[in-house]
Amino acid sequence: MTFLPIVERELIEASRRRGTYWIRLAVAGVGVLIGGWMMLVMRRERPWELGQAMLVATSCAVYLYCLFVGVFRTADCLSEEKREGTLGLLFLTDLKGYDIVFGKLVATSLNAFYGILAIFPVMAIPLLLGGVTLSEFWRIVLVAVNTLFFSLATGMFCSAISRDERRSMVVAFLIVLFFAAGFPFLSLISYEWSPFLPIYEYLLIPSPGYAGAMAFDVPFNTSKFNHFHASVLFTHVLSWGLLIAASLIVPRTWQDKALTTGQVKRREKLNRFQLGSAERRRAFRARLLEVNPFYWLLARHRTKPFAVWAFLGLTAFVWAMGLLISPRDWLHDAAYIFTAVIVHTVLKFWMVTEACRRFSSDRQSGALELLLSTPITVKELVRGQILALERQFAGPLFVVLMMDFVFVLAGRHDSDLIVVWIVGMVIFVADIVALAWVGMWRGLNSRRPNRAAAAAMVRVLVLPWMIFLLLLTMAAVTDAFGRRMTNWDGKSAVYLWLIISLAVNAYFAIPARRRLLKQFRSVATTRFDAGSGKEG
């Protein structure tokens, strides 16, 4: 009898895939580019300062990657099998729950692990430059691998308890975020209320971020309290607990069971909460059908706009707690910018996932073909999707822009800061519009909505920053701006950032809109290639 047969099969299959090797090469190449970029920018610094800066930069990037990769890699692996009805076929054999869980874990996480494994040699370059000890390097490696294990285990657990892709990914993201940032926030509150009690120290132990910060030599050797090993052990044990729980849950959740009377009543109450009473549903349906039939189909659930407002309410609550605990630290330009960056980023991610999800799932299920066989036109379908996105996000986006304007007034003493805020607000609106169009087009062409959303985000959000940093690097290396542009200053860099962002948005959004309107019918009526996994 073979122990963990699915794991063995997945390892053999992965060894034959080209992507397994190309991903390692690509990630290592990215690490070399980051290291080379820092060497160019900091070429005048002393070697040990360059080594420390490189280690901090690469470690932070690897840590963030390890922390959230499970949301994208494992949070839908089991729930997808449930939706497609293939998970039950595995249980017709003598496979156990742990066979399937660990098999899926290996299948989905192997490339993620190879990715960080390939970048570790790049992270070791600072050892040659000086200023970094061997023990510090190995602590950082340990935290990275442990954090990756925790993220993947969390995604696997959420996938085991859920059937819906969106719900599984959101729950996994919230769990990871709670452990990474929630416990440090609770520790800060505990310290402000009772600094003489050691409870705030122990509230940091469950956070992987605490272990990541303590892995460096300075805090590890000089901190008044050092719970590094306890934090690593807690995260590791918790990860195994999540995998064991997933192994026990999977055999009991793959099949549909008859609902009890109490479950039926609870489902009816939930449906009434999401859609409203019968009278309100009829009035709402009549009003939206006059505008656009597809709009009514997408906008039936009242909880979607409510969730966005709830996020803004939670942000306001955190701000209120921060002002109550430490008003001097919160009434500061850095706190304003940090808040705006977090809120803007979350809303952009939310927008692009909503834009991708409907067209992708409806094309895969064949619902788009049925819709296109009715008198409804392609323009009406696209307009219905746009109206649904406006209904969900227009109000919150307006509130966020008003919040940004308040922050602008708070920093009106600094003219450079005002320029940054105004440019940031313009780019925020432009990114939202571009993500809507690119997201709809990528979603229509993709089997998986999360991959479509990632592709849209790379094009609209990541690419402008890469171009911007490349130009700044070239300027720093050649000193071109210093010789040829006498008025080059911080505002010029902000204007350059604006031009690049708007140009990239137009480059991707305008063709996406044109293709969506012209090629929608031909793409929507083409089936995905199930054999190869390629998109038609």
Residue 522 covered by a domain: yes
pLDDT score at 525: 81
Residue 528 covered by a domain: yes
Residue 385 covered by a domain: yes
pLDDT score at 257: 61
Angle at 453 between CA 6 and CA 514, to 5 degrees: 135
Q: b or e along 150-185 (b: 16 or more beta carbons within 10 Å of the residue's beta carbon)?
A: bbbbbbbbbbbbbbebbebbbbbbebbeebbebbbb
H or E segment to which residue 103 belongs: helix 97-123
Q: Half-sphere exposure of residue 121, counting CA atoms within 13 Å on the CB side? A: 10
Q: What is the pLDDT of residues 236-291, one digit of tens each?
A: 999 999 999 998 888 877 665 655 676 666 767 766 666 666 677 777 777 777 88
Q: 442 and 358 in contact (C-beta within 8 Å)?
A: no
Determine the Cα–Cα distance for residues 300 and 308; give it in Å rounded to an integer: 16
Domain that holds residue 476: 311-536
Q: Which residues contact 495 (CB under 8 A, 6 or more apart)?
A: 423
Residue 315 covered by a domain: yes
Residue 82 covered by a domain: no
* Residue 502 burial class via C-beta count within 10 angstroms: exposed 0-12, middle 13-18, buried 19 and up: middle
In 3D space, the residue among 431, 453, 446 whose CA is nearest the CA of residue 355 turns out to be 453
pLDDT score at 481: 47
Residue 197 covered by a domain: no
pLDDT score at 532: 38
Q: Whole-model pTM?
A: 0.79
pLDDT score at 493: 83
Determine the Cα–Cα distance for residues 441 and 455; give it in Å rounded to an integer: 11
Token couple for 30:
């990215």
Determine the Cα–Cα distance for residues 406 and 176; give it in Å rounded to an integer: 31
- Residue keyed to tokens 């169009």: 437
pLDDT score at 179: 92
Neighbours of 245 (CB within 10 A): 16
Residue 440 covered by a domain: yes
Q: 51 and 129 in contact (C-beta within 8 Å)?
A: yes
What sign for the dihedral angle of Cα 292, 295, 297, 299? Answer: negative
Q: 460 and 376 in contact (C-beta within 8 Å)?
A: no
From residue 128, give the alpha-carbon distance in Å to each of 41, 52, 116, 131, 140: 18, 11, 20, 9, 16
**Residues in the chain where the model's pLDDT stays below 50:** 1, 480-486, 530-536
How many structural domains does the chain have? Answer: 1
pLDDT score at 457: 92
Within its chain, how far is the Cα of 348 from the centroid?
10
- Kindly write down the DSSP assignment for every residue of 457-513, as one continuous string: HIIIIIHHHHHHHHHHHHHHHH-HHHHH-TT-SHHHHHHHHHHHHHHHHHHHHHHHH
Residue 32 covered by a domain: no
pLDDT score at 507: 95
In 3D space, the residue among 401, 404, 435 whose CA is nearest the CA of residue 509 turns out to be 435
